[in-house]
Amino acid sequence: MIAAIIVAAGRSSRMGTSKALLRHTDLGTTFVDYLIHACQEAGAVPFVVGRPDDDELYRQVNSASAVYVANPGSDAGQLSSLIAGLNAASVDPQLQGVLLAPVDIPLITAATVARLIGSASRTSAAIVRPTYAGRHGHPVLFKRQVFDELRSADPSVGAKAVVRVNPGRVLDVEVDDPGVTMDVDTPADYERLFGRPIDTLRG
């Protein structure tokens, strides 16, 4: 089993509103809903990590038949949410790897996720990440053999600390998907990628 850990517990301070609840290309779909379904279509089991008090995010995740993981320590950074999701997914003894999928990289396709999972099954590399036009992107797949390293990594560096330990155990997979490098951090980013002003389903 491969779990997709969709991290959505940040405070979105630069965006000014929840990134997870921003409308996607389909106006009836949010970032988090799109990512959940892309991961499900690719064969991954989605776990969405959010804050304990984010009731609207919880409702959306529940309606999409995904698992919501509350991270009370989310202010410690993205790594804390990855670990929270990893710990929740590890209840399944068949867990073989986790995909780190930040909710603010909302344009990755199901085909890309499926390709990463397929590549991971055919390599001894412990980490598999997509590249587009020579740039590293997300989601990044971490196999079971590095789970303990993720749990003990420096929170100030995050999962990158594990990736950088040994480049020889990282497989880069070139994909025809510019979405792996497109993050949405500000209203200007949103308008540039979606062609309309910031638009959210919250409330």
Q: State pLDDT tens for residues 100-149.
A: 999 999 999 999 999 999 999 999 999 999 999 999 999 999 999 999 99
pLDDT at 202: 57
Residue 24 near residue 65 (C-beta atoms within 8 A): no
Q: State pLDDT tens for residues 37-47.
A: 999 999 999 99
Q: By three-state DSSP, how is residue 198 classified?
A: coil
Furthest C-alpha separation in the chain = 47
Q: Which two tokens stand for residue 85?
A: 């999701």
In a domain, 149, yes or no: yes
In a domain, 69, yes or no: yes
Q: State pLDDT tens for residues 143-197.
A: 999 999 999 999 989 999 999 999 999 999 999 999 999 999 999 999 999 999 9
pLDDT at 200: 76
| Banded model confidence at residue 7, pLDDT cuts 50, 70, 90 | very high
Q: How far is CA 11 from CA 43, 67, 94, 151, 197, in A?
A: 29, 20, 33, 22, 20
Q: Is the predicted pLDDT of residue 72 greater than 90, yes or no? A: yes
Q: Is the predicted pLDDT of residue 75 greater than 90, yes or no? A: no
In a domain, 200, yes or no: no
Q: State pLDDT tens for residues 23-64.
A: 998 878 999 999 999 999 999 999 999 999 999 999 999 999
Q: Phi first, then psi: what are they for 150, rounded to 5°?
A: -60, -45
| Banded model confidence at residue 10, pLDDT cuts 50, 70, 90 | confident
Q: Is the predicted pLDDT of residue 21 greater than 60, yes or no? A: yes
Q: Which two tokens stand for residue 22?
A: 């921003």
Q: Is the predicted pLDDT of residue 5 greater than 90, yes or no? A: yes
Q: Which helix (H) or strand (E) covers residue 84, if one does?
A: helix 78-89
In a domain, 101, yes or no: yes
- Average pLDDT value for residue range 67-93: 94
pLDDT at 203: 41
Which domain, by its residues, includes 15? 2-194
Distance (Å, whole) CA 96 – CA 177:
25
How many domains is the chain built from?
1
Residue 117 near residue 41 (C-beta atoms within 8 A): no
In a domain, 174, yes or no: yes
Q: By three-state DSSP, how is residue 110 classified?
A: helix
pLDDT at 59: 95
Residue type at 197 in one-letter notation = P
In a domain, 202, yes or no: no
- Average pLDDT value for residue range 5-13: 90
In a domain, 138, yes or no: yes
CATH number at residue 179: 3.90.550.10
- Average pLDDT value for residue range 58-86: 94
In a domain, 199, yes or no: no
